[in-house]
A and B are shown apart, each in its own frame.
Chain A
Amino acid sequence: MSGKQDLLALFKETATQVDKKTFDNVTRESVITELGIDSLAMMQIVGEMETRLDVMIPDEDLVEIITVGDLCTKVEARL
């Protein structure tokens, strides 16, 4: 499970960097829009994660993402 924890940690780190806020209490169940992350910030976070992990997340994958866990699952699938 450590791979999944790493992705969650990466998300928190990237989100903090991008949105200039702390996301310490974020879990995989957290709903992204409820974290105050809007669509453009989301693109920025995904872009940053793509660059760091050298993966491409296609547009279609992004449509269904509601929770942080959904995003981590999509990213994992492309690793």
Chain B
Amino acid sequence: MTAERRVAVTGMGVVSPLGHDVETFWQNLLAGRSGVSFITEFPTEKLRSDIAASIRDFDPLTVMGAKEAEINGRVTHFGLGAAISAMREAGLDFPRDPETVPTTDDPRLPVRPDRIGCLLSTGQGGVDIFEQQILKSAERGPRAVSPYFITGVMLNAVSALVSMRYGLMGPSFNIASACTTATHSIAMSALLIKAGEADVMVAGGAEAATRLNTVAGFGNARALARAVDGDPTNASRPFDRQRNGFVMGEGAGALILEEEEHAKKRGAKILGYVAGFGLTSDGEHVTRPHPEGLGLALAMERALGRAGIGPADIGYINPHATSTPQGDVCEVAAMKRVLGARLREIPISATKSLLGHLLGAAGAVETIATLCTLRDQRAHPSINLDNPDPAFDLDFVREARAITARYALKCSAGFGGHNCALVLERA
């Protein structure tokens, strides 16, 4: 009988509105700094929301050549950037060597190429390339459409580029489940490792969808928040009585998931563990979660079950908490259903209050924040909680504080009713 394979985390990387390396990102979260500002990239007078969490200082030429940067969408710039940082931290940022045979062990390589794959997913893909090429076709006819159109917009472009960069021959593809994209990618990467399909996976999410028409689309569904008193940083208000929608954001988060023995054998530093995961659906409505949070509750139960722990063992929760009137209610209902009386004792901080909603990347950057929380035994604040909704009688972290937690719960829920919960464990 084969022993259960444990999934460790050996690297993390981010490209985000709060920094392009994990330490800067984490310190900004602890300091309660917001990454939200007024949109400057396109005119916003006719939009229902004029704010977003945007990245303005990331140069794609630091991770790819000029041509590559042009034919691939902004989402791939972020994704590759985060992946390279994570691989570097894990000691896996090895150059491709044409001499190596990828399917046999080679002492010169930290990992056999056919044992490492990539699930660095995006929910919307290269929307900038899509818009650009549609306009080109409208102006100059279909002959002007780029031969790189399809490879530029396909959602799997991010995973493809990462696997091409490192010559990865393990499983690589894309999972798209809207706001749950990255969390699902982490869970499925863990499952692939446990199933023996890979020993290492580059897992996480990327998104760069803050375009005029995407903001218009979300805005016309009345899902977006506006600045309060002219201050963009107070628009994202999870759990607050005045919450009225989410703030769009862009960026990427990558984690190197690695089978524990494989990591120990090569002397890799273990940063934490993915101890459990649960994947469920609501089967209810395309944007509204199940009113009692049944689907998300089931995902949490399954995650706890896989981790072999109970509510008493959870020391911190990083919820999905998008700041929508309905979403926050359903999530709390789900947490109460699973954690019962224990819930009120668990510190909770909503990363989206600071970072906005990174859509397909949210689950990854928030999991990274959760792992930093476990590593440092310190929780970042949930800001804009001036008047917590009285229905939520919970321990919200209002100022960064020390916590005692061996296990943490990370939850995500996406348009379409897709839920995923992770149990993360400190190293």
Contact = CB atoms under 8 A, between A and B. Distances in A.
B243 to A, nearest CB: 12
A47 B220 contact: yes
A11 B221 CA distance: 18
Contacts of A43: 220-222
A34 interface: no
A62 B222 contact: yes
A54 interface: no
Interface residues of A, number: 8
B285 A38 contact: yes
A39 B287 contact: yes
Contact of A40 (B48, B221, B244, B245): B221
A39 B220 contact: no
Contact of A39 (B48, B244, B245, B288): B288
A44 B219 CA distance: 11
B286 interface: yes
Contacts of A47: 220
Interface string B286-298: 1110000000000
Nearest to B48: A59
- Size bracket of the B interface: 10 to 19
A62 B222 CA distance: 10
Contacts of B221: 40, 43
Interface string A36-63: 0011100110010000000000010010
Contacts of B48: 59
Nearest to A50: B220
A43 B218 CA distance: 11
Contacts of B220: 43-44, 47
Nearest to B245: A59
A59 B222 contact: yes
A43 B48 CA distance: 13
A33 to B, nearest CB: 12
Nearest to A47: B220
Contacts of A62: 222
Contacts of A38: 285
B47 to A, nearest CB: 12
Contacts of B244: 59
Contacts of A44: 220
A39 B221 CA distance: 9
A38 B288 CA distance: 10
Contacts of A39: 287-288
A18 to B, nearest CB: 12
B415 to A, nearest CB: 10
Contacts of B285: 38
Nearest to A62: B222
Interface in B260-301: 285-288
Contacts of B287: 39-40
A42 B288 CA distance: 14
A3 B323 CA distance: 38
A44 B245 CA distance: 17
Contacts of A40: 221, 286-287
A62 B221 CA distance: 12
A43 B221 CA distance: 6
A70 to B, nearest CB: 16
Contacts of B222: 43, 59, 62
Contacts of B245: 59
Nearest to A46: B222
B283 to A, nearest CB: 15
A38 B118 CA distance: 39
Nearest to A63: B325
A62 B244 CA distance: 12
A62 B245 CA distance: 14
Nearest to B285: A38
7 contacts: A38-B285, A39-B287, A40-B286, A40-B287, A44-B220, A59-B245, A62-B222
Top 7 nearest A-B pairs (CB, nearest first) are A47-B220, A43-B221, A43-B222, A59-B222, A40-B221, A40-B287, A43-B220
Interface of B: 48, 220-222, 244-245, 285-288
Interface of A: 38-40, 43-44, 47, 59, 62
Given A38-B285, A47-B220, A59-B48, 12 more contacts: A39-B287, A39-B288, A40-B221, A40-B286, A40-B287, A43-B220, A43-B221, A43-B222, A44-B220, A59-B222, A59-B245, A62-B222
